[in-house]
Amino acid sequence: MPPAQRFAVARKKVIKHYQWMLRTDYLPRICAPGVVSNVFLNGRKAFEVGVPATDMPTMPIEFSVAAFRLGHSMIRREYDWNRIFDDGFGTLDLLFAFSAGSGDLGGGQKLPSTWIADFRRLYDFTEAGRADLAVPEGKFNRAMRIDTTLVNPLAGLPGFPAAEGNLAFRNLRRAKMVRLATGQQMVTFLKNKGVTLTKLTDVQIRDGSNGADLGGLTQAQRTKLLKDTPLWFYLLRESELNGGRLKGAGARIVAETFHRAMEGSQFSIVRDPAWRPSLGPSNQTFRMVDLLLFAFKGQKALLNPLGGP
């Protein structure tokens, strides 16, 4: 096969495997699986419904400014990143400085070798039957649950004045600048599109479940928040009340956005529903751990080049 053709074939295979991983492994971890299945089996009801499948997809502002900022709540304060930055020494501040935060590699031109990730500490390879790639539970960097709390370092991002550097403040201000729909407005919009949803009650929004405490607000501020809840906060509260996984409006926005992106891709498992993976353990399974095992040839020395437990 000519090299150019070989690359095209490989590219198509990689893209479809990656989409399969997103559809079957990633999305069900962050969203209620039933919502993901409903969207991919029955189609979208809210975003770009009825558009030609191969038209260029657009990204809903409700996704970019609110729903997919779920990742901010999943960030840990510190990481046992590798054998060098171990026992909590892989702090968020250091990761910002040395892992290309804002394009700054700690003053250097390339990532220092001491910051190469130990992927065994980021992904559970026992899911793929690789007990030899397991690390002690205390070394495993589990993501935080999706809720209304952020770790302290995100209250003061480097390079910004005090208030400007608070990530929650920046998210909320951005939503106000673009006049984003409130949580209540978004639920009404989705219900009018035929999505079955239950709107959060005032008590649920106020109290949550071991999340952000609204006790510091004045009565007037609290009343306003309960009436017109910022969409980002509302979706995080939904997740918080669902054990840390997106539900309701949040799950619907995220699942529909990913569905549309895959549908409009040049190579698409949405437009080719009979396609199945060939690089994983079966024709039904291709997860992030399978992608890493394939990329690093299943070798421990490549998944963790710095060594150590």
Q: What is the pLDDT of residues 148-160, one digit of tens each?
A: 999 988 988 877 8
Give the pLDDT score at 302.
Answer: 97
pLDDT at residue 299 greater than cutoff 90:
yes
Per-residue pLDDT of 191-223, as tens digits, reads 999 999 999 999 999 999 999 999 999 999 999
Q: Which two tokens stand for residue 135?
A: 């690390």
Of 236, 133, 146, 252, which is closest to residue 190 (Cα–Cα)?
Answer: 252
Q: Give the phi and the psi of residue 51 in degrees, each rounded to 5.
A: -75, 155
Give the pLDDT score at 308.
Answer: 85
pLDDT at residue 86 greater than cutoff 90:
yes
Of 134, 137, 124, 139, which is closest to residue 89 (Cα–Cα)?
Answer: 139
How is the chain split into domains, by residue range? 3-72+166-275, 75-163+299-303
Mean pLDDT of the chain: 94
Residues with Cβ within 8 Å of residue 226, at least 6 apart in sequence: 202, 205, 206
